Chain A
Amino acid sequence: MPDDKVEGDAQHGVPSIAGTAGSTLANRSGSGKAIRPVYQDMVAPCNAACPVGTDVEGAMNLLREGRVVEARDLLLRENPMPAVTGRVCDHPCQTACNRAFFDDAVNIHAVERMLGDLESGVHTPAPARTHKEKVAVVGSGPAGLACAYHLTRLGYAVKVFEAESEPGGALRHGIPEYHLPRVVLAREIERIRSQGVEIQCGVRVGGDLPWKELESHDAIFLASGARVNRPFELAGQDPADVRPGLEFLHEAKAGDRGTVGRRVVVVGGTDTAVDCARTALRLGADPVVICQGARADLSASTEAFDEAIREGVRFEFQVWPVAVQTSERAEHEKAIDAIRAMYVEGGSDWSRTRLVSVECVRMRAVEPGPFGERRSLPIPGSNFTLPADTLLTALGEEPDLDFLPSEITRKGYVVKVDEFGRTNRPGFFAGGDITGEARTVAHSLGSGKRAAIGIDRYLREKAGEPVAPADPKALRYGGTGNFSITRWRGDDPVHRSGEVNEVVPFERLNLAHFTSVPGKPDRHRSFEERRSSFAEANLGLTPNEALAEARRCFECGVCNQCELCLIFCPDIAIQRHPDGHGFTRSEQYCKGCGICVAECPRGAKVMRDGP
Chain B
Amino acid sequence: MKRIITDDQAVCWGVRLARAEVIAACPLTPQIQVVAELSGLCASGDLMARFIQVESEHSAMAACIGASSAGARTFTATSAQGLARMHELLHRAAGARLPIVMADINRTLAPGWTMWSDQNDSHSRRDTGWIQIHCESTQEVLDSTIQAFKLAEAVDLPVMVILDAIHLSHASEPLGIPDSAEVDAFLPGRASRRKLDGDDFHTPGAPASPVFDMELRLRHQEAMAEALTTLDTVDEEWGRRFGRRYGAIESYRTEDADLVLVVSGTVASTARHVVDQLREEGEKVGLVKVRLFRPFPTVAMRKALSGIPHVAVLDRNLSPGHSGILAGEIRAALYDLGPGRRPAIHGYIIGPGDREARPETILDCIARTREAAKNPDASEREDTWVGVRS
Contacts and interface: CB of A to CB of B under 8 A. Distances in A.
**B partners with A:** yes
Interface of A: 1-3, 6-7, 9, 11-14, 16-24, 26-27
Q: Which of A6, A20, A26 gathers most chain B CB within 10 Å?
A: A20
22 contacts: A1-B206, A1-B207, A2-B208, A7-B193, A11-B215, A11-B219, A12-B218, A12-B219, A13-B215, A14-B212, A16-B97, A17-B205, A18-B207, A18-B208, A18-B213, A19-B204, A21-B202, A22-B201, A22-B203, A23-B203, A26-B203, A26-B207
Interface string B149-160: 000000010000
Interface of A is mostly: loop
A16 to B, nearest CB: 5
Contacts of B193: 7, 9
Contacts of B222: 11
A27 B205 CA distance: 11
A13 B208 CA distance: 13
B215 A18 contact: no
A24 B215 contact: no
A21 B213 CA distance: 17
Contacts of B218: 12
B48 interface: no
B375 interface: no
B223 interface: yes
B367 interface: no
A451 to B, nearest CB: 57
B219 A24 contact: no
Q: Which of B97, B193, B206, B207 gathers most chain A CB within 10 Å?
A: B206
A24 B207 CA distance: 9
B203 A19 contact: yes
A445 to B, nearest CB: 50
Given A22-B203, A27-B203, 7 more contacts: A1-B207, A3-B206, A6-B194, A11-B215, A16-B156, A24-B203, A24-B206
Interface string B162-199: 00000000000000000000000000000001100000
Given A19-B203, A20-B202, A1 B209 contact: yes
A20 B201 CA distance: 9
A2 B203 contact: no
Contacts of A12: 215, 218-219
Given A16-B97, A16-B223, A17-B95, A26 B206 contact: yes
A17 B212 contact: no
Nearest to B204: A19
B213 A16 contact: no
Contact of A7 (B194, B212, B216): B194
Nearest to A9: B193
Sorted nearest first, the 3 A-B pairs with minimum C-beta distance are A12-B215, A18-B208, A14-B215
B96 interface: yes
A24 B204 CA distance: 9
Nearest to A3: B202
Interface string B224-254: 0000000000000000000000000000000
Contacts of B212: 1-2, 13-14, 18
B97 A23 contact: no
Interface in B83-116: 95-97
A17 B215 contact: no
B219 A14 contact: yes
Contact of B203 (A7, A9, A11, A20): A20
A27 B219 contact: no
A6 B192 CA distance: 12
B70 to A, nearest CB: 15
Given A16-B97, A16-B156, A16-B223, A27 B206 contact: yes
Interface string B28-57: 000000000000000000000000000000
A1 B211 CA distance: 9
Contacts of A21: 201-202
B130 to A, nearest CB: 15
A571 to B, nearest CB: 12
Nearest to B193: A7
A19 B194 CA distance: 11
Contacts of B96: 17-18
Interface string B340-375: 000000000000000000000000000000000000
Nearest to A22: B201
A342 B42 CA distance: 88
A67 to B, nearest CB: 32
Given A1-B212, A2-B208, A7-B193, A19 B202 contact: yes
Contacts of A6: 194, 202
A18 B202 contact: no
Contacts of B95: 17-18
Contact of B219 (A1, A7, A16, A19): A16
A23 B203 CA distance: 6
B95 to A, nearest CB: 7
Nearest to B98: A17
A207 B218 CA distance: 103
Nearest to B218: A12
A10 to B, nearest CB: 9
B223 A19 contact: no
A13 B219 CA distance: 10
A6 B216 CA distance: 14
A13 B223 CA distance: 16
B205 A18 contact: yes
A108 B314 CA distance: 73
A241 B284 CA distance: 123
Contacts of A17: 95-97, 194, 204-205, 216
A12 to B, nearest CB: 4
Contacts of B208: 1-2, 18
B91 to A, nearest CB: 12
Contacts of B209: 1
Contacts of B203: 3, 19-20, 22-24, 26-27
A574 to B, nearest CB: 18
Contacts of B206: 1-3, 18-20, 24, 26-27
A9 B223 CA distance: 13
B212 to A, nearest CB: 5
Contacts of A2: 206, 208, 212, 216
A452 to B, nearest CB: 55
A19 B213 CA distance: 11
Contacts of A11: 215, 219, 222
A18 B215 CA distance: 10
A582 B95 CA distance: 37
A23 B201 contact: yes
B166 to A, nearest CB: 38
A18 B216 contact: yes
A154 B1 CA distance: 87
A130 B156 CA distance: 76
Nearest to B156: A16
A22 B201 CA distance: 6
Contacts of A1: 206-209, 212
B201 to A, nearest CB: 5
A26 to B, nearest CB: 7
Contacts of A16: 97, 156, 216, 219, 223
A26 B96 CA distance: 18
Nearest to B200: A21
A508 B53 CA distance: 29
Nearest to A13: B215
Nearest to A23: B201
A65 to B, nearest CB: 28
Contacts of B207: 1, 18, 26-27
B216 A14 contact: yes
A22 B200 CA distance: 9
A2 B208 CA distance: 7
